[in-house]
Amino acid sequence: MEKRRGGAGAMNGAPSRRGTWLNERNAVFTVRASVGLILLWFGLLKFFPNLSPAEPLATHTLKVLSFGMVGPRISIVFLAIFESSLGILWLSGRWTRAAVILLWGHMAGTALPVVLFPSETFTRFPYAPTFEGQYILKNLVIVCASLVVWTMGRRHGSAVR
């Protein structure tokens, strides 16, 4: 009788170890690429005045955090450079630990309007977010994706360096 290995045709239906490893490896790459593209895309939008839907809320947040010392044009250019650079870092596949930690800091900053300006982020707190609130809440998915990269990247040696 022929000995069968795991895989798509395995009797028990379980994927082979090798197949799982390849799928997890591809998952890490896909998550990195998608997060990197989102960050790069949203960052590049901020270089062009009034093109990013997040611009008014982002500049208002930075104005409040800087006690009015940083104007909207400077803050949006700073965010554009930071977000674009972070996107490139994620796409590069290098310095994963730094990329994830910087992303977590950025995500914490983007969540601040929920605390600072609840009337701008929710029509009825906490269950009816405005468009801006939805924009912020979608970042939970990005944070979860970063956890996948952090944990699975370690397991497969794609270096959480």
Phi and psi angles of residue 128, each rounded to the nearest 5 degrees, phi first: -130, 85
Phi and psi angles of residue 69, each rounded to the nearest 5 degrees, phi first: -80, -20
Average pLDDT over residues 52-60: 94
Helix and strand numbers, DSSP H then E, in the chain: 7, 2
Higher pLDDT, 27 or 117: 117
- Both tokens assigned to 22: 């390849």
- Both tokens assigned to 73: 């044009």
Classify 128 as helix, strand or coil. strand
pLDDT band for position 88 (50/70/90)? very high
* DSSP conformation class of 74: H
114-152 pLDDT tens trace = 999 999 999 998 899 999 999 999 999 999 999 989 988
- Both tokens assigned to 93: 């596949």
